[in-house]
């Protein structure tokens, strides 16, 4: 029984050491958290806009943007994360990224006109987020189209406040139907 506990403790310590190494190397990247990119239960919300934007309390109600909700990884994706970390820590394998579910909301002057469920590919080398026909450069936060032209920029929004906003916006649209 104690052998199992020793292996479990060793595995947790190895994961923490890897997370600390990633934190020191990548703490300036978009979508970096204390748990690293591979946190299976982490979520994030991003807003991408053309040109310069001043994001304040009324921004989402008045501007044009793409709102992206990167969701937690699926059950099987979480299982694969455990395997990836096991291989990485014991065989020298380098994880380059992962995929996770994403919801995209499009707004024109605060009026939502499109909603899409898709998959986001988060890459560590190079530091990109790929969603459908566009990329987000995690280093300089550029929003880039499929022709490799810069559309605008993206930034992270506060998660819980943004999720509350999304729920209210969806509820309002359901009430109007």
pLDDT in tens, 122-145: 887 788 899 988 999 988 899 999
Rounded-to-integer distance, Cα 70 and Cα 65, Å = 16
Residue 128 near residue 136, CB atoms below 8 Å = yes
Q: Which residue has the higher pLDDT, 8 or 65?
A: 65
- Give the count of domains, the chain: 1
Give dist(CA 63, CA 5) in Å, integer: 53
Q: How confident is the model at residue 23 (pLDDT cuts 50, 70, 90)?
A: very low
pLDDT recorded at residue 28:
53
CA dihedral (128, 75, 161, 59) positive or negative: positive
Which of 22-36, 56-70, 133-147 shows the lowest per-residue confidence on average (mean pLDDT)?
A: 22-36
pLDDT 10s digits, 144-162: 998 999 999 998 899 899 9
pLDDT for res 42 = 78
- Pairing relation of β-strands 134-137 and 142-145? antiparallel
Q: Which domain holds residue 113?
A: 2-176
Question: Any idea what the Cα angle at residue 69 is, between residues 118 and 101, rounded to 5°?
Answer: 35
- Span 112-131, mean pLDDT? 87
For 33, counting Cβ atoms within 10 Å of its Cβ (0-12 exposed, 13-18 middle, 19+ buried), the class is: middle
């Amino acid at each position: 029984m104690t052998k199992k506990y020793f292996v479990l403790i060793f595995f947790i310590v190895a994961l923490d050491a890897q997370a600390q190494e990633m934190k020191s190397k990548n703490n300036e990247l978009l979508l970096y958290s204390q748990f690293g990119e591979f946190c299976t239960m982490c979520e994030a919300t991003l807003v991408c806009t053309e040109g310069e934007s001043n994001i304040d309390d009324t921004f989402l109600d008045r501007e044009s943007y793409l709102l992206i909700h990167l969701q937690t990884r699926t059950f099987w994706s979480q299982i694969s994360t455990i395997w990836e970390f096991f291989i990485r820590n014991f065989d020298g394998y380098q994880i380059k990224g992962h995929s996770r579910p994403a919801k995209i909301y499009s707004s024109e002057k605060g009026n939502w006109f499109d909603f899409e469920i898709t998959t986001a590919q988060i890459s560590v080398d190079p530091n990109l987020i790929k969603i459908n026909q566009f990329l987000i450069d995690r280093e300089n936060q550029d929003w880039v189209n499929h022709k490799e032209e810069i559309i605008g920029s993206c930034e992270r929004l506060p998660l819980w406040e943004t999720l509350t906003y999304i729920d209210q916006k969806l509820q309002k649209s359901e009430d109007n139907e």
